[in-house]
Each structure stands twice: as C-alpha cells, then as structure tokens.
Chain A
Amino acid sequence: MIRLFAILIGLVFSGVALLSFGVGAYTFATEEHEPTAEHEFHLAPKDVAYSFDGPFGKWDKVQLQRGYKVYKEVCAACHSLKFVSFRDLADLGYSEAQVKALAAEWQVPGIDPDTGEATLRPGLPTDRFPLVYPNDVAARAANNNAIPPDLSLMTKARHDGTNYVHSLLIGYADPATYKNAEGKSLAQEFPEFSTPPGLNFNPYFANLNLAMAAPIAADGQVTYDDGTTATVDQMATDVAAFLTWTAEPKMQQRKQTGTWFILFLLFATTLAYFSYKNIWAGKKPKKGSSE
C-alpha cells in the first residue's frame, strides 16, 4: 500500500518537473537568444604573480608599503578602510614610532575635551582608519549617486579579488574604439551599447559601466619612496597587494601555521596507517586468496 502511494507521489513530482522541463525547453527552442554586451565583452581578471601566492607565500613588505601609499594618496579620497587599525600597519614593517607618525597624518573623529563637541584630532595607532563620508547620503551626493564601497575586504568580496582589483584599475577603455582579445569591436557588435554620462567603460566590471573614473590615470601619479618606477601597472599591482593584506592580514601566519599542521598530520597519519596495518595483520587474508 505504502509503495503504491509512493509510486503515485513519485510520478506526480517527476511529472510536474518534466512538465516544467517541457515548457522550458519549448520556450528555449522557440525564443530568440540575444547575446548581451555584458556576456560577450566581460573579461575575467588577468593573472598577476604575487609574493604571497602559493602555500609558502610571504608578504613583500616593501610592496605593501608602496600599496599603502597608493591607497593613501589615491583611493582614500573616496574609499574607507574601516576594519583596519593604524596599529596593524606594523605588519608592513614599520616601527612603533613610524606607525605613530603615520597615524598622526590622518584626521579622525574626536571629542573636544573642553566643550564635549565633536571635533577632529590626529589619529593614534589604536584608531581605525576614518570613514570618508559621514553617511551614505553624503557619499552618494559627492559621487554622482554611487557609494564608494569600503575597501577593507574588497579582495575577498570579489571572485579572484586581488587580480580583479589590479585588472579593474588598469582596464579602463574607450567603448567607441574598444576591441577584445579576439579583435571583436564592441561598437560594431553592439551598436546600441552605450556608456551613460557619469559612468565609465571597463570590461572587467560586471556590467561594463562603473561610476568610478580611472583613479590611476598617469605614470608617476604617486612618488614611491623606494625608487620604484610608478607606472600605472605598478601602482595597480601594489595597491592590489595592499588590499589583499587589509582583507586577510593573517594570511602569512595562516599559511605558516598550516604548513606545521600538515607536516604533523602527515607524520601522525603515517603512524596511524602502520599501526592499523599492524593490528589487522592476522585478520586479513593475503591479497588474492579470497574470491
């Protein structure tokens, strides 16, 4: 009886699923499939090699310091870093005194000790990086109705985030003349495609048009302290590395800890394997003797 019911219910569910399939397949077969510009011209980020790649990767502290400088002089105009504290900058190889000095270069919200009124004061190592805008409305008002996202976690909040940040920063192009790697011209393939005023064309951005204008526009926009030539690509690479650190400051510690875990586990598992074989030695027939 229960099996009769089950067969009935099974036939109903699979029948309705197949009905959905039939309708979907009919629609799929009869409807026109217009390829979209977003689908045809969106690019996956380019691969860039970093010192922190791979299981034994380590931060390149000099690169992170360069990246910090790019963030401070370029990105920080609009983007906050609200989950990072100034004291964290010690990870970049700065001494305690240097961290203090770096923190003091930023103005953070404070309270006037005499009047109790809100005021600004120089940052301390214990402070977080300050917000750029007091609220979302102010952010929208200043940025053509777009909110510049916080960058603390940006490289973890996008697929292949480190490469994405780098590619996005160097990927700006003119939609009128843009051709992809296969030589297809966007203007010819999708004549109706347009970048609305106030937006900027970038094939690495999901819908190809983003509010942010190219922030790194020319070589030498930032002057590096270590003498590295500040090409657009170099600045984009360095700031992507820096934002990888802000998103995952414990990455190096994580990989080093993991290496010890794996080494120990390999050793312990080998021992466990031999003790298993040893204990079972008399209980298993020799290979090939059964069946």
Chain B
Amino acid sequence: MSFPWANHYEPQNPLMKWVDEKLPLPRLVYNAVGAGYPVPRNLNYMYNFGVLAGFCLVLQIVTGVILAMHYAPNALVAFGSTEHIMRNVNWGWMLRYMHANGASFFFLVLYLHIFRGFYYGSYKAPREMIWLLGVVIFLLCMATAFMGYVLPWGQMSFWGAKVITGLFGAIPLVGEPLQIWLLGGYAPDNAALNRFFSLHFLLPFVIAGVVILHIWALHIPGSTNPTGVEVKKESDTVPFHPYYTAKDGFGLGVFLILYCLFVFFMPNALGHPDNYIEANPLSTPALIVPEWYFYPFYAILRAFTFDFILTAQLWGVLAMFSAILMWFFLPWLDRSPVRSASYRPLYRIFFWVLMVDMAALFYLGGAHAEEPYIMFSQLATAYYFLHFLVIVPIVSSIERPKPLPYSITEAVLGKDDDAQLGATVAAKA
C-alpha cells in the first residue's frame, strides 16, 4: 500500500526505536495518518468530513460511556434517570446535550461525506470496498441512533420504537412473530428498552471496527480528489502530516464552533418537545416523527399510500430499506470511467437535482402526514429511485465527459512539464 515516494518512519529517539522493534504501533500511526501517508494535494473542504465523522464517533463513545454510568435502562425509571443526569449529575446536562446533539452532528457530517462521494465518484473502482464498508457504517449508525433515541423513554422514544418495529410487522407471514421477537413483547416495554440499551452500547464499537476496515481499505488506493485523476507522481501529493492535519484541524475548529452553538445555546432545537413527556402507551402524540436525520427515509416510507399488488405499507417498508441498500450497487450502476462530476456535465445536473430532491425529502419527512405534503413526498420519492436506478446507469453510458487534466499537478498549477511525455509515462505505468 501507499506510494513508493512515501516518507519512511525512522525513529531517532532510542526509546522510540526500542518500541518500534517490539511493537511497530508508532510506525502504523505514522503510515496511516502521519507524514508517511501521501495524499492528493488538491483536496477541498468537502474532504474534511471523514475525519470529522471519526471525531464524532469518539465524542459519542466518550460521552455515551459516561452517561451510561448514570442512566438506568428500566422502563419505570429511565425517564427519571435522564432527568437525574440533567439536574443532579455534575456536568450531566452538558454530557447529555453533547451526546444528543452529537448524534445530529454525526449524521450531518455523514450526509456531507456521502454526498461528497456521490459528486466525486468516490465509490468507483478501485474504491468499491471503501464505499461498501461506508454504507455498512451508515446503516450501523442508523440502527445505533434509533435505539439511542428510545433510551430517554419519552413519548417520541416510545412511539418511534413502536412505529419502526411495527414496520417489520408489515412483512407477510413472519411479520408479526418477528416484531414480537424483536421487541420481546407485543409493544415496546422493559424488554425492548433493555435490549436497545445493550445494543446501543455495543454497536458503536462494531462501528469503530468497521471504520478501521474502511480506513484500511482507503489506504490501498488512497483518497480520490476533486479531479478524479489518479495520483501519478510525488508532485501530485503532500504528506498527510502536516498538510492535512493542519487543514483538518481548522475544519474541526469550525465544526466545534457550530456544534457548541447548538449544545450550549439551543440544545433542544433539533429534538422534539414531546420527548420531554414521559412515555405513555395510552396517549398517541399528534405527530410521530423520528429525529431529523431519518426524515428523508421516513418521507419515502410514508409516500406509498396505494395498495398495488402488495399493501401500501409493505411498499413503503421495501422502498425505505431499498433507498439505502441500493447504494451498495452504486459502483456497478455508474459505469462512467470519469469519477469527478466536475468533468461530467450531464451527471452534475442530475446530482444537483438529487440534492434538491433530498432537501425536499428532509423537509417532507418532518411534515404532518397530510396533503399537499404527501403528494410532494411521492414525487420526491419517485425521483429518488429514478435517480439511482435509472438515470445514473443511463447517463453513465450516454454522457460525453469533458477532457480531464493530465495530472493533479496540472490541475493545481495550471501546467505539468511531464504532460508532453504523457504517452511514455502512461506506457511505463
């Protein structure tokens, strides 16, 4: 892995030499996120979000482990123990707001990271495995966040759990037994709360494991870049440290400012007031919605209102799961050899249509289930599926991409002296 011109780890300090002989962990770090990892020199700010997502994962694990020391996963006392954290635990309010808003910011960063991938074709060969692992991480994050939202045992926790596990009930034949098995009962109660807590504690460590695989897979071909042209030579790259540690450091600062504005000045802006009402199986909230980061998929779920061969509910469930699962096939649906949308005029238009479509789904997923919102979400859902499954494959075969720069160096500096020799260099490679 890595490029032949990568810096080599040469410890000077006798202690570090001694450590390196016994356990080359510093060497691993040096080669992974240090000066030993050459990275394309032209990455823009959209490439900050991977590091930020990693930061969010650590933040969630650290705050979550401490919250778990004070939280009680029992349906009788869960709500009260959350309030105990808010009122009596030293800095408990800060930990809880950091954790709750941390989930929101984690998803914000993940979405931007994924959309970056859509635009720059990060899923294309030779990076398919990175993409597949990324989709796995996203699915695990969704499961973790969903179960975490149930833990405070407020009204939205309870009814959210009921609606989402109810989706499994829509599956023919096995649906109802499956739902009962998942919940450990006929409705969310202590059994469900306990297992959700257990899994909510476990899954982040599974995510951390898949993140390691994700980064491992990334380090084989290295990052994409805004041109989509592969790294050819040393002048195309800079060492990760100090160049991208510095850039990511600045990005992290900006991220933390935005995050702290929410944690300290509007900590409940992204939540729902109903979750400050204790769970009550006898009182259904006027509007049951998940957290904002699930809105697009919730909009897709609710868009299917017409029984066509299958029941509308089953269509909704199938569509909602397919909406993410189909990302697994993206590397094989998009056959364009050009990665970056900057050089794909037709694809770029549809990418921005998709962004508008996603924005609409985000809005509609949180709206009341009434007209005209449902009609708009039906149109937005139709485009969402057309985009990935119909438009992307067709565009990639009919599109005429713009000429690519010879190299990253040429893209950055405007000229590359090797460009005239392009033929010979290519032949050598």
Tell me the residues in window 277-291 of chain A with beta carbons closer than 8 Å to chain B beta carbons: 279-280, 283-285, 289-291
> What are the residues of chain A within 8 A of B55 when measuring CB–CB?
none
**Known contacts A157-B274, A254-B264, A276-B246; A16/B308 CB under 8 A:** yes
How near does chain B come to A2, taking the closest CB pair, in angstroms?
A: 5
Closest to B260 in A: A261
How near does chain B come to A151, taking the closest CB pair, in angstroms?
A: 12
How near does chain A come to B254, taking the closest CB pair, in angstroms?
A: 6
**Known contacts A55-B265, A272-B246, A283-B238; A17/B304 CB under 8 A:** yes
In the complex, are the beta carbons of A17 and B94 less than 8 A apart?
no
Tell me the residues in window 6-23 of chain A with beta carbons closer than 8 Å to chain B beta carbons: 6-7, 9-11, 13-21, 23
Main SS at interface, chain A: helix
User: Does B242 reach chain A (CB closer than 8 Å)?
Assistant: yes
In the complex, are the beta carbons of A28 and B375 less than 8 A apart?
yes
User: Does A83 reach chain B (CB closer than 8 Å)?
Assistant: yes
In the complex, are the beta carbons of B381 and A14 less than 8 A apart?
yes
In the complex, are the beta carbons of B390 and A7 less than 8 A apart?
yes
> What are the residues of chain A within 8 A of B384 when measuring CB–CB?
14
> What are the residues of chain A within 8 A of B372 when measuring CB–CB?
28
User: Does A138 reach chain B (CB closer than 8 Å)?
Assistant: no
Interface string of B169-203 (1 = CB under 8 A from A): 00000000000000000000000000000000000
Interface string of A247-289 (1 = CB under 8 A from B): 1011001110111011001101100110110011001110001
In the complex, are the beta carbons of B264 and A255 less than 8 A apart?
yes
**Known contacts A2-B332, A265-B253; A250/B86 CB under 8 A:** yes
How many of chain A's residues have a CB under 8 angstroms from any CB in B?
A: 60
How many of chain B's residues have a CB under 8 angstroms from any CB in A?
A: 68
User: Does A142 reach chain B (CB closer than 8 Å)?
Assistant: no
**Known contacts A152-B83, A255-B264, A279-B243; A262/B329 CB under 8 A:** no
> What are the residues of chain A within 8 A of B83 when measuring CB–CB?
83, 152-153
In the complex, are the beta carbons of B276 and A153 less than 8 A apart?
yes
> What are the residues of chain B within 8 A of A275 when measuring CB–CB?
246, 249-250
In the complex, are the beta carbons of B382 and A14 less than 8 A apart?
yes
In the complex, are the beta carbons of B273 and A24 less than 8 A apart?
no
* Interfacial residues, chain A to chain B (CB-CB below 8 A): 2-3, 6-7, 9-11, 13-21, 23-25, 28, 55, 83-84, 88, 149, 152-153, 156-159, 161, 206, 247, 249-250, 253-255, 257-259, 261-262, 265-266, 268-269, 272-273, 275-276, 279-280, 283-285, 289-291
Closest 8 CB pairs of A and B: A258-B264, A10-B389, A269-B253, A21-B378, A14-B382, A157-B276, A13-B385, A3-B393
**29 A–B contacts, CB within 8 A, in A order:** A6-B390, A6-B393, A10-B385, A14-B386, A16-B319, A19-B308, A20-B378, A23-B305, A24-B306, A24-B374, A25-B375, A28-B375, A83-B87, A157-B276, A157-B277, A250-B93, A253-B93, A254-B94, A254-B264, A257-B264, A262-B264, A265-B256, A269-B250, A272-B249, A273-B253, A279-B246, A280-B243, A284-B412, A290-B414
Q: A9-B322, A10-B388 are in contact. List 13 more A-B contacts (CB 8 A).
A: A3-B335, A11-B389, A14-B386, A20-B305, A23-B305, A24-B306, A83-B80, A156-B268, A250-B93, A254-B267, A275-B250, A280-B243, A289-B414
